[in-house]
């Protein structure tokens, strides 16, 4: 993937890392590697990511979702239950 400047030197031609299609970026400083959001999602979906579960502290690997933060449904449920239990009403806190 070698960048080539066109005639007016303000736009840059690149090749999509996923599908191989050509596309134009507006600046040499652009970090864009994909021709579309669809190609970006396809490429990123196959990269396994290591994360640490905020509930149990276990490290896990996922390639299912960019938003997945818990290692299991059980940890997700336990975390939500703990958040619900710690909520208090500001009116009730002050007391009568």
pLDDT score for 40: 85
pTM: 0.44
DSSP string, the chain: ---EE-TTSS-EEEE-TTT--EEEES-TT-----SSHHHHHHHHHTS-EEEE-TTT--EEEE-S-TT--SSSHHHHHHHHHHHHHH---HHHHH--
Residues in the chain, pLDDT under 50 = 1-3, 5-8
pLDDT score for 2: 47
Sequence-distant (6+) residues with CB within 8 A of 23 are 13, 14, 15, 16, 32, 35
pLDDT score for 58: 94
């Amino acid at each position: 993937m070698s960048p080539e400047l066109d005639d007016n030197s303000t736009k840059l031609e690149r090749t999509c890392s996923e599908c191989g299609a050509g596309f134009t970026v507006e600046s040499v400083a652009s970090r864009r590697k994909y021709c579309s959001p669809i190609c970006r999602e396809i490429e990123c979906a196959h990269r396994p990511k290591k994360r640490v579960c905020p509930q149990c502290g276990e490290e896990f690997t996922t390639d299912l979702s960019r938003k997945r933060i818990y290692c299991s449904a059980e940890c997700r449920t336990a975390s939500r239950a703990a958040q619900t239990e710690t909520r208090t009403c500001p009116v009730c806190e002050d007391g009568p």
